[in-house]
Amino acid sequence: MLKISLSPADLGVGSHRVHYAWVIVGVASVMWMVSSSIRFSATVLIPHLQDPAGFGWSYGTIAFAFSLQWFLSGLLGPAMGWLGDRHGVRRIMLFGALLFIAGMLLTGTMTHLWQFYLYFGILLGGAMSVFQVPLVSGVTVWFRKHLGLAMGTLQALQASGTVLLIPLIAFLFAQFGLKWTFWFPGIIGGVLLLLLIRAFYNEPAEIGLRPVGAPSDEPIARLRQDDTAKIRASVFLRQAQGTHAFWNLIGIHFWGCMGHNIFVVFLVAMAIDRGLSWDAAIGSYITLNVLSMVSRFLAPVIADRSGAKAVMAVCFTLQVLPPLILLLSQDPWAFYLFAGLFGIGLGGEVPAFPIINRQYFGYAPIGTVYGWQMLGNGLGMGLGPLVGGILWDITGQFASPVILSSALSLVGLVSVLLLPTTSRPLIPNWEESLPPEARSTASP
């Protein structure tokens, strides 16, 4: 009889063994998919929220709710990264799951603008901050090799949630109204989060394993989560902040996300304003997300092998030029062509950050560093649609936010070109500033 082992430390079928790190990738992907997909797929509701027959809110006021989500998750990014480095990822996930359930259920009952801001913007923004920074940085500790494949899988599966949820949100809203548009994915997704937390482990040594690609003779040692962990994280952060790349990467995340989130939030509304039907507008948005999903998988794999800087430069170029298509053509096909090209650039940009962190900083405690980068992400994602929506309200045309997006991405492209090479680490000897007992060579 074929032997099947479901033990995390000895997972496998017959003689074929599967490292539990790949289960971690799957678990993290679903949790991130559940917690983040609503912030992208809910943009299909913007035409209803703006319609006088619906809520009658302006584009700027609607965009502020989405901006609140990103502002909050961005501002909490460094703190969440620190908590993950200091106490482990698993402990804070329960709080995030409960926030997600509360935010989704309450958003389904909203009748006033302030409720949209509180329930959708603040509560869901807080939940997403939990499942954004610590979850991604938590996966990196499971891999010494094949990190690009792991990040690509994680990002692609997360993006697939948006692709699936866009038509579901449109269907639920058309058939059942606002309440079940949020209640159905909120209840199902919340239960999934609570169940999957039990399958997530903070590190390989917690179940007696080494990271994927670690030497077989390397001792199995737990990551430090005591006062020594605090010292290591603080010393490394100070040295990382002394590099130009640390601050530039925050800026790159800011410029890129401010530019592309204008289209993430407003593409459906722009297509309808141009004269496309509801179905055609949603189709263009699905096209953007499908190509983004493919790029999210391929970009970190290529970045891991060929260097993340070049990949980021290509992705930013694909966010600078395609918006011009919408200014040069009035035809509906222009939205689909734009969505395909722009989706490739958008999808490949963000997943490259964990890879470039590994290439610059090695196996240091990078949760807090990634959290600082996600601060740039959150502020950019929040400001982009907010400023774009206000410009649209003032001018009455979406050409101004389109031009703004292209200009912001151009600044990001120049910033990428100023990054140092990824062929060598930036601070390889950072542990020399630690006391001997806090170094990785010391016994736990």
Half-sphere exposure of 365 (CA within 13 A, CB side): 31
Q: Using CA atoms, how far apart are residues 398 and 266, in angstroms rounded to an integer?
A: 9
Residue 331's pLDDT is what?
82
Residue 442's pLDDT is what?
57
Residue 339's pLDDT is what?
95
Asked whether the whole model's pTM tops 0.75, one would answer yes
- Which residue reads 């260097």 in tokens? 307
Average pLDDT in the 375-397 region?
A: 90
Query: Confidence band (pLDDT; 50, 70, 90) for 205?
Result: confident
Residue 222's pLDDT is what?
67
**Closest to 350 in 3D by CA, of 1, 4, 36, 31:** 36
Half-sphere exposure of 208 (CA within 13 A, CB side): 5
Say whether 243 sits in a helix, a strand or coil: coil
Residue 15's pLDDT is what?
67
Residue 63's pLDDT is what?
87
Query: Confidence band (pLDDT; 50, 70, 90) for 88?
Result: low
Q: Cα dihedral sign for 318, 319, 321, 324?
A: positive
- DSSP secondary structure string for all residues of 6-75: --GGG-EETTEE--HHHHHHHHHHHHHHHHHHHHHHGGGGHHHHHSTTTT---HHHHHHHHHHHHHHHHH
Query: Confidence band (pLDDT; 50, 70, 90) for 441?
Result: low
Q: Using CA atoms, how far apart are residues 411 and 41, in angstroms rounded to an integer?
A: 27
State how far the alpha carbon of 273 is from the alpha carbons of 57, 269, 277, 323, in Å: 16, 6, 9, 16
pLDDT one-digit tens code per residue, 154-194: 888 878 888 889 889 989 998 999 999 999 999 999 999 99
Query: Confidence band (pLDDT; 50, 70, 90) for 3?
Result: low
Residue 14's pLDDT is what?
63
Query: Confidence band (pLDDT; 50, 70, 90) for 258?
Result: very high
DSSP 3-state percent helix, strand, coil across the chain (nearest 5): 75, 0, 25
- DSSP secondary structure string for all residues of 313-348: HHHHHHHHSTHHHHHH--STHHHHHHHHHHHHHHHH
Identify which has the larger pLDDT, 396 or 230: 396
Give backbone dihedrals phi and psi of 12, rounded to 5 degrees, phi first: 170, 170
* Domains annotated on the chain, with CATH: 16-204+225-426 (1.20.1250.20)
Extract long-range pairs of 218-223: CB within 8 Å, 24+ residues apart. Answer: 221/444, 222/444, 223/141
The rounded Cα 413 to chain-centroid distance in angstroms is: 20
- Beta-carbon contacts of 154 under 8 Å, excluding residues fewer than 6 positions away, are 25, 28, 29, 32, 136, 139, 351
Q: Do 256 and 316 meet the contact criterion of CB atoms below 8 Å apart?
A: yes
pLDDT > 90? residue 221: no
Pairing of strands 12-13, 4-5: antiparallel
pLDDT > 90? residue 382: no
Identify which has the larger pLDDT, 380 or 162: 380
Helices 244-274 and 399-417, axial angle in degrees (round to 10): 160
pLDDT > 90? residue 406: yes
Q: Do 288 and 163 meet the contact criterion of CB atoms below 8 Å apart?
A: no
Residue type at position 344: I
Residue 412's pLDDT is what?
96
Q: And the tokens for 143?
A: 């891999």
Average pLDDT in the 45-54 region?
A: 86
Residue 33's pLDDT is what?
87
Q: Do 352 and 312 meet the contact criterion of CB atoms below 8 Å apart?
A: yes
Out of 21-25, 162-166, 279-283, which region has the weakest mean confidence (pLDDT)? Answer: 162-166
pLDDT one-digit tens code per residue, 104-161: 999 999 999 999 999 999 999 888 888 877 777 778 888 888 888 888 888 888 788 8
Identify which has the larger pLDDT, 91 or 302: 302
pLDDT > 90? residue 437: no
Chain-wide mean pLDDT for the chain? 87
Extract long-range pairs of 51-59: CB within 8 Å, 24+ residues apart. Answer: 55/113, 57/113, 57/116, 58/389, 58/393, 59/266, 59/269, 59/389, 59/390, 59/392, 59/393
